[in-house]
Each structure stands twice: as structure tokens, then as C-alpha cells.
A and B are shown apart, each in its own frame.
Chain A
């Protein structure tokens, strides 16, 4: 019985430590997914959270040294973004691409991103080929 007690307490200690680490990890890095519309309605409380916003990259991307400024658009709403992360922007990041920006919303309404993920629409799956008729159909 004593052996089982030892095992039990060791297991509890290990799992407890890991759980504690996990909880800390979650509260530290959790990022809320928001749309641009939701961002505009966000109260001051929400400005402390890390946020992730998605949208289409508008045409003008300005690079100023390390900073990159661009706008994300979604349903006619726009969001100015400043990116100042260390990772280079992905190759797929270009006007028209869908991008996810991680960061915080500044008091000035500009989104300060520290990480950008871009997903080119044609990453793996191409858009349907521009053919006048309906899309591809099975042969059989």
C-alpha cells in the first residue's frame, strides 16, 4: 500500500505541476479571434487582450525600415495595421491575400501586430479555373 501511496503522490505532483504550467501558459498566450467589426465595438477592457484579426490585405503595403504598414479590409470595414515583428513577412503576404494579424489594438485605433500569417487563396488548392461554364464535374 505504501508503494502505491508513493506512486500516487508522485503522479499527482507531476500532473499538478504540468497543469499549473498549462494554466499559466494559456492565460499568458491566449489570443482572441475577432473580426474587424467586433474590434470596433471592443471596449477598453478588450484592449489588453492579445487579438487575432483576419482580413484581406489592401493594395498599398508600405515598408519603412523594420516597420510595415498596411490595411486589412473585410466587408467594407478597414483596419490600419503596423507590423513590427522579427519574423519576415511570409511570401504569401501580398495585396489581395487573406492575412491573420496577431497583436494588440492601440488607443489610436491602429492595430499593432507582432505576427502575421498569410494564407494565399491558392496555397494548396487553386481557385476554380476561369472557364465560362460551371465548375469541374466528375467524369463518371
Chain B
């Protein structure tokens, strides 16, 4: 079995090399059949990697404890679903997963473009397959998932494995890594299209449309992955943090930031033919940051709670990144003439300008995060002392940036292209500004004094009202014209320009998330040592330790406390935070209890028990507004999906403004 798996990945490696050569040579010598054969090689790679992955999953699920990977990451007592997730629980398996996803993306791209983009497809394939070759190198030659345990020359079956880390045995493990990987891997597609269009000097912006959709899909996965990670940390780490500026978290945020910047600045290219070089840089940066993130997670270069063990693969990443970046920069520089801007900035008060500043601060934030993450490495190089910076550094620089972005979120969509007059600005922003001020006055009167909290809530109100006004204005116009009711005109409005109104919805989601983030300013916490029957109070709640229980199952031994929660003398809930000791690894884990409500979460962690089993160390927290973050995420997700639905208007009127302008420039 494992031999077939290893053989499959090796064959896939050969096919990937062939696909690069076949497509490029086929293109250069004008032999379409070679290109077609390269495309078939892509399909074959997917089949081969699916076989390899199938074998690994089968071994994990059935517990083939002769295999090193199976024995390291699973054990008999684990629930089957976690045996399955062990596929991405360790270095080798997750690299196979990476490869498989990449092959899947490549297959979809090739399949969808059998008749489109014939000029650039060979290079698209070559770029994707070059990445594939790199990642296959890692699992074919260095970190094979198909190693067996050997004693001397004999294969050993160890009978039972060591099990997956306790922190990973949580439902999010099923979906968080795949989402993040779909994000990371998916950015290879826009990158491949960008590079291919540069090589072949494609006129027009047709490739940009494809790229934008791909970026949007991957962006959606990446957003989901990052937020699932945040939700996971919140629910298992025991102190209610959802973001700790840990290097690996940062690594997942960096490509997300550049992709967000790209999704905005790409509009400038579509509508005005501007920022072409910049967009190339953003697409490339996103791709390389994805590779960099993978590198950071796996090389042990920086200390992180998420990191895989130090492997020998760091050097390979450095080489791949250096070659890739050097080649991309050379290519972009050699094509500068072709990437000339077709229009110029005309005014600071314009849509163009808001995009420019949006990009500027997004990139500044990206750079600051990168700098902070690599600070230990950089400082050691230059001063000889390893110095790290902490969460306060990241917050200090990113909170103002976030505020500015929030402001632009409100301003950008309403401000006119080219040049806006103060008069029109006043008309558009008078009421939103009033709303922001009113919110702050009310909050101030209620005793809120945190500067950033006030600023954030004011801006949230400002943005929400601008978006709401846009919807209402548009829907009213349709309602009067079509004599339809308000709701159906709202749907009609969105359907006519899904990109625009879907985008607004994404903005609303982001605002809702910001309301949740701002809640952080009002956290309350306490740590107490109590015995059975004790009552403590936190905020509006009284917490009574009702009982201490314990038990055991095949996978872990557990202890839990039963806490009765009362508010205003009324019993409202019973929370049961739990501590576990996973038997296979002798590793402790904890399950906090959270009472989630829209206004605030009550969060209790069972931190410790004295040896006599009497005294309980309990940590209790009140986290206001946290749920808004998760609600905001769903709004962002629905907005993104709406953006992906083709607009009705484009079907009805083939030459809309967008198509018109893009077409005009294409001819030039």
C-alpha cells in the first residue's frame, strides 16, 4: 500500500516536470498537441495525488501502525473524524494535502479554460506546475508521508499510535486547516494568470476578470480560515483571546491583506487602466506571502505555538522564494512599458485617491506585521541580540490603520471618480457624520472613555449609514419606476450590480466585525480560588461553584466543575468547564464553557484543582460584543458570494460602462 502511495507521488512529480516542459515547448514551437499533453499531465497528477491521499487516509482510518505518519498522529482511541483530520495534522501529511489541493486547482483551471485564454494557458500551466514541482519535491525527497517504521531491516507494527495533540482534537480542526490551505494554495491561480499575461504581453483586461474572480474565491476561503482560527483560539485557549499576533497567525493575515488590497486596486485597472504595475506587484506579493507563510509554519525560523516541528525543509523554501521573487521582479521590470497607466490622478478628493490610500495603508500594515514577525530574525542578524516585539506593537500600529480603513470604507464608495467637490461631499456625508457624532455623544454620556472605542463606534455608525443610504436610494428609485415593493426592489438593485452591492454587504460585515473587536476595550476578568458552595460575582453575574465531577473514557480522563450562574437573583444558566487528560499522550487539554449572547459572552475556564480535590482555581471573564465578530463573518461571506453571482445588468445590456471602458482601452 504505502509503496503505491510513494510511487504515485513520485510519478506525479515526473508528470509535473513534464507538464512544465510540454506546455512551454509546445507554446514556443507552436505544437498544440504538446500543450494538450501537458494539460492531460495535469489531470493525471490530480488522479495520482488522489490515489496517494486516499492511501494515506485509508491507513490513518484503519490504523496501519507500521507507517510512521499514522503512528505519530493517530491512536486507536481517537474518534474517527480526528483520525481523518490527522491527514493535515502533521508536516508530511499536510504537505501532501497542499499538493493535492494545488493539483485540484490546476485541474479546475485547465478544465475551465479548454477553449479560453489559449495564448496564455501554456504559461499558466507552467507557473502552477513549477509550484507543484517544488511542493512535490518536499514530499518525494524529503518529508515522505509514506515512511514505515523499521527496526533494522524489519518493518515494525507498533500496535498503537501516539495520537493527535489535544488542542487539535476540536471540531474546528475538521474545517479550519482546509479553508486556510484552500486560501493559501488558491492564490497560485491569480499569480499564474498574471505572470502568463506578462510573458505573452496580453492586451486588454480579460485575464483580470478571471483573476479577480479567482482571487475573490480564494480570499473568501482565506477569510473563513483566519476567522475559524480566531474562533478556535477563543474557544479552547482558556483566556478568550482570538488574535495573539503569533507569527503563524500573522503569516495567514499577510496574504489576506495584499489580496484585499488587490481586490480594491483591480477596480482601478478595470475602470481607469491605472495601477497596472501595482496590481502585478500585489498579485505576486500575495502568492509569495502564501509560500512564505507556509515556510514560516514549517521551518521553525520563529517561535510559534502553531509551528510544526523544525524540519529540514526551510532551505528549500528559501531557495524557491528567492528564485521566484527574482524571476517575477525581472519579468515585471522588463514589461514596464507594457504596463503604462492610461490615466492620472486628478484630485485628492476622488475615488482614485481613496483607492490609493486604501492600498497604501493596507500595505503599510502588511509591512509592519511582516517586520514585527521577523523582528527576532532581523535583530539577531544586525545586532547579534534576538529581540522580539509583542502584541502591543502590532496593536499600536494596526489599530490606527484599521480606523483609517474603516473611514475609507465609508467614504470610498460614495466619492466621485476623477474629482469630487466639497459640496457633493457634504451632501453625501452630512447625515453619516451626524450619526457618528450622535453615537459618540450617547456613549460618552454612558461613561465610555476609551479613545479608540469611541472612534471605532463613531466610524462604524458612519459607514453603516452611508451604505444604508446607498441601498435605500437605489431601491427607492427602482420601486418608483417598477411600482414594486421595497424589498423586491432591494433584491433587484443588488442583482443588477452584484459586485457593487455585494461589496457593500462585505463592508457591512466588516463593520459588524469591528464592533465586535471594539468590545475588547471593555473586557472584565477575574481569577479566584474557591471551594464548593462559594459564590463570586463578576459584572452582573453571580457564579456559584455547585459541584466538582470527574470521569474517564477511552480517549481522555476528565474533571469538570458545575457553575450556577445567576443574574439579579435569578438562575439563568449552568456552565460546566472541563479539564481533560488525553491518555495516549498524557497531555492535558481544557474545554472552557461559554455562555454566548449578542451583548456579551460569559466565559469560564476551569484552571486548576488542588491536590486534595477541594480548592478550584476558576477564571471567569465577560467579553462584550464578541459574537458580533462571528455574525460579521457570515455577512462578509454572503456579500462575497453575492459578488460572485454574475450581474443581471451585464446579461441584459452587454456593453455596460465597465465593458465599454475596458473595450476602449483594449483597442489602444
Contact = CB atoms under 8 A, between A and B. Distances in A.
A102 B387 CA distance: 12
Contacts of B309: 123-125
Given A7-B356, A33-B386, A125-B90, A15 B392 contact: no
Nearest to B390: A29
Contacts of A40: none
B590 interface: yes
B167 interface: yes
Contact of A32 (B151, B165, B385, B390): B385
A73 interface: no
Contact of B587 (A14, A30, A32, A91): A91
B6 A86 contact: no
Given A125-B309, A139-B148, A33 B388 contact: yes
Contact of B400 (A11, A15, A21, A28): A21
Interface string B295-315: 000000001010111000000
Contact of B303 (A88, A92, A117): A117
Interface in A7-31: 7, 10-11, 14-15, 17-18, 21-22, 24-26, 28-31
Nearest to A118: B305
B149 A91 contact: no
A129 B246 CA distance: 30
Interface in A105-140: 117, 119-120, 122-126, 129, 131-134, 136-140
Nearest to A140: B6
B270 to A, nearest CB: 22
A65 interface: yes
Contacts of B168: 124
Interface string B107-127: 000000000000000000000
A86 B345 contact: no
Nearest to B65: A129
Chain B interface category by residue count: 35 or more
B661 interface: no
B387 A122 contact: no
Contact of A14 (B348, B357, B375, B390): B357
B364 interface: yes
A11 B3 contact: no
A66 B527 contact: yes
Nearest to A125: B309
B400 to A, nearest CB: 7
Contacts of B149: 129, 131, 136
A47 B388 CA distance: 17
Nearest to A11: B360
A129 B390 CA distance: 36
Contacts of B608: 63
Interface string A61-72: 001011000000
A30 B650 CA distance: 54
Contacts of B239: 86-88
B255 interface: no
Contact of B392 (A29, A126, A136): A29
A52 B386 CA distance: 10
B364 A14 contact: yes
B68 A125 contact: no
Contacts, number: 178
Contacts of A134: 150-152
Nearest to B376: A33
A24 B227 CA distance: 29
Contact of B166 (A3, A91, A133): A91
Nearest to B371: A22
Contact of B364 (A18, A30, A89): A18
Nearest to B241: A87
A88 B604 CA distance: 11
Contacts of A29: 389-393
Nearest to A132: B151
Interface in B381-401: 385-394, 396-397, 400-401
A88 B151 CA distance: 42
Nearest to B588: A91
A25 B392 contact: yes
Contacts of A136: 68, 147-150
B647 interface: no
A137 B162 contact: no
B158 interface: yes
A79 interface: no
A101 interface: no
Contact of A137 (B71, B150, B166): B150
B587 A92 contact: yes
A89 B2 CA distance: 41
Interface string A23-67: 011101111110000000000000000001000000000010110
Contacts of A17: 400
B388 A31 contact: yes
A122 B150 contact: no
A136 B119 CA distance: 48
A31 B387 contact: yes
A118 to B, nearest CB: 9
Nearest to B148: A139
A86 B617 CA distance: 13
Nearest to B72: A126
Interface of B: 2-3, 6-7, 10, 68, 71-73, 89-91, 144, 146-152, 156, 158, 162, 165-168, 237-239, 241, 303, 305, 307-309, 345-348, 353, 356-357, 360-361, 364, 368, 371, 375-376, 385-394, 396-397, 400-401, 404, 525, 527, 529, 585, 587-590, 605, 607-608, 610, 617, 619
Given A15-B360, A32-B386, A140-B6, 7 more contacts: A10-B357, A14-B361, A31-B388, A94-B588, A117-B305, A124-B89, A136-B150
21 contacts: A7-B356, A14-B364, A22-B396, A24-B396, A25-B389, A26-B375, A29-B389, A29-B390, A65-B529, A66-B527, A90-B238, A91-B588, A91-B590, A120-B587, A123-B165, A123-B305, A124-B309, A129-B72, A134-B151, A134-B152, A136-B148
Interface of A: 3-4, 6-7, 10-11, 14-15, 17-18, 21-22, 24-26, 28-33, 52, 63, 65-66, 86-92, 94, 100, 102, 117, 119-120, 122-126, 129, 131-134, 136-140
